[in-house]
Amino acid sequence: EAGVAQSPRYKIIEKRQSVAFWCNPISGHATLYWYQQILGQGPKLLIQFQNNGVVDDSQLPKDRFSAERLKGVDSTLKIQPAKLEDSAVYLCASSLDSSANTEAFFGQGTRLTVV
Amino acid sequence: AQSVTQLGSHVSVSEGALVLLRCNYSSSVPPYLFWYVQYPNQGLQLLLKYTSAATLVKGINGFEAEFKKSETSFHLTKPSAHMSDAAEYFCAVTLYTGFQKLVFGTGTRLLVSP
């Protein structure tokens, strides 16, 4: 079974530039998550989709971050404009559903460096 | 709000020694608890999860964890460390009801020496 695919693996941009990350979840998984993992910290949930609808984006900095999930499958996360503090690993995860005990499967992440 | 605290950002053990990684949770209702492992430049992989069926949970790679309500703890153990266990370990908590929202601890890096 193919896992969660993310691209690119690494990205370096200058502050105030824009960047986009792509995620392809495991086939059949209704729930998709984007996490931000800053060095030395645990992952923090940015946004959660159930099919193509947003169920939680309470920690997404909406003035600069946006995300969409096209047709309830692939998802993109965009940052515009980027700040130095956005340097982090962005992890995409998916699960069969949103029940509390469902295992989330994680991609390898995209490491973003803002200079 | 629910949260987890992982004591010790780094734990060092010798190969063959007992591994003990500590996690304490805070939740107003009985939680679901998870341990994830992250190898360098990899995503997170589920080691085990507690969902109230049994207090002692066995996971992959010989790891296990015991849910202790009286101590609000869910410590991760392995009887004998292997070099391949060197990684970062995250404890996470979520609630029974509503949508799953995993809240992660800050992680513990396990170092294994020969």
**In this structure, what is the dihedral angle of CA atoms A51, A37, B88, B4, given to the nearest 10 degrees?**
-80
Low-confidence winner among A45-59, B4-18, B26-40 (lowest mean pLDDT): B26-40
End-to-end CA gap in chain A:
37
Closest to B105 in 3D by CA, of B63, B62, B74, B71: B74
Q: How far is CA A34 from CA A31, A42, A89, in A?
A: 10, 13, 10
- Note the pLDDT tens digit of each residue in B54-101: 889 999 999 999 999 999 999 999 999 999 999 999 999 886 556 777
- Note the pLDDT tens digit of each residue in A74-105: 999 999 999 999 999 999 999 998 777 788 99
Indicate the burial class of A5 (C-beta count within 10 angstroms; 0-12, 13-18, 19 or more).
middle
Contact A50 B99 (CB under 8 A): yes
Whether residue B16 contacts residue B6, with contact meaning beta carbons closer than 8 Å, is answered with no
pLDDT at residue B106, rounded to an integer: 94
pLDDT at residue B46, rounded to an integer: 93
Whether residue B69 contacts residue A3, with contact meaning beta carbons closer than 8 Å, is answered with no
Contact B106 A42 (CB under 8 A): yes
Nearest-by-CA chain A residue for B44: A106
pLDDT at residue A71, rounded to an integer: 85
Put simply, the chain A residues between 43 and 102 with a CB less than 8 A from any chain B CB are: 43-45, 48, 50, 55-56, 91, 93, 95, 98-102
SS3 A87: coil
Chain B touched by A23 (CB under 8 Å) = no
